[in-house]
Amino acid sequence: MKRGFAIVKGSAFSQLPIYITECDPEGCAACGMATNPENAYRNGTMYSSYTAASFARILDSAAQYGVNLAGATSWSFEFEGQKWFDGFRDLATNGVDKPVLNVFRMYGMMRGNRVNIENEGVLAAADGHTMTVMLWNYSDDDLPGEVVKRVLRLKNMPSNRVVVQQFGIDEEHSNAYTVWKKMGSPQEVDAEQYKVLENAGRLQQVEKDLAAAVGGELSVPVSLPAHAVVLVRVSW
């Protein structure tokens, strides 16, 4: 990707928009767990945290090379009549949203222009009434890990009173896959179970709304379990 950006930057097409039309971690979207057991990662939080980290890295690289990145798309399809959570590269299974879809919901909540940051593993944006900051705890190993504690420090706040919200994707939030496994991984789901899974697949808050008085600077503690993604939204 970086090599491609460098080639474009050094060519006569340097100002043309760039679209990365298949932006995915590996090849076969239609290969489920029956043929590729390793694709089980697509069901859970490893895929969602990878997506958060990789799309942010693409934005950073585009800014580094000064190219006009207009968009990047995931080739995630719809596979009708398949088993529940069978490892296909899709955003939902039998109509129930997977954790990875909630990353795109988070990105959709990030309005305005990018904001300068001082640490890696963070992406921030702000408009006239909100600031949003995405953080993630991704690793290449699909294994349990330690909870990472961070303190998000926001400077030059334009208002003395704000409302802070935290949305998260982890084993306990915005994750229908873990709920389905707790049900016993059923392939026949009744109406009540379906409703539970549908609700579990939606983007959820991990902390209650917090109204805070600030003096130009705000500190927000954030907990990131292994492969978690958190979006902090500050409104005024």
* CATH number of residue 24's parent domain: 2.60.40.1500
141-163: b (≥16 Cβ within 10 Å) or e: eeeeeeeeebebebeebeeeebe
The pLDDT, as a whole number, for residue 62 is 94
Q: What's the structural domain count of the chain?
A: 1
**Span of 12-26, 81-95, 170-184 with lowest mean pLDDT:** 12-26
The predicted model gives 68-89 an average pLDDT of: 93
Q: What is the DSSP letter of 64?
A: H
Tokens of 147: 């909870």
Question: Range of 133's domain?
Answer: 2-235
Query: What pLDDT digit, counting tens, does each position of 142-158 carry?
Result: 888 999 999 999 988 88
Residue 92: is its pLDDT beyond 90? yes
The pLDDT, as a whole number, for residue 173 is 98
The pLDDT, as a whole number, for residue 1 is 83
The pLDDT, as a whole number, for residue 64 is 93
Structure confidence at residue 116 as a pLDDT band (50, 70, 90): confident
Task: List the beta strands (DSSP E) in the chain.
Answer: 17-20, 68-72, 92-93, 96-97, 113-114, 122-126, 130-136, 148-155, 161-169, 204-213, 217-224, 229-235
The predicted model gives 66-89 an average pLDDT of: 93
Residues 198, 148 contacting (CB under 8 angstroms): no
The pLDDT, as a whole number, for residue 121 is 84
Query: What pLDDT digit, counting tens, does each position of 48-59 carry?
Result: 999 999 999 999
Residue 206: is its pLDDT beyond 90? yes
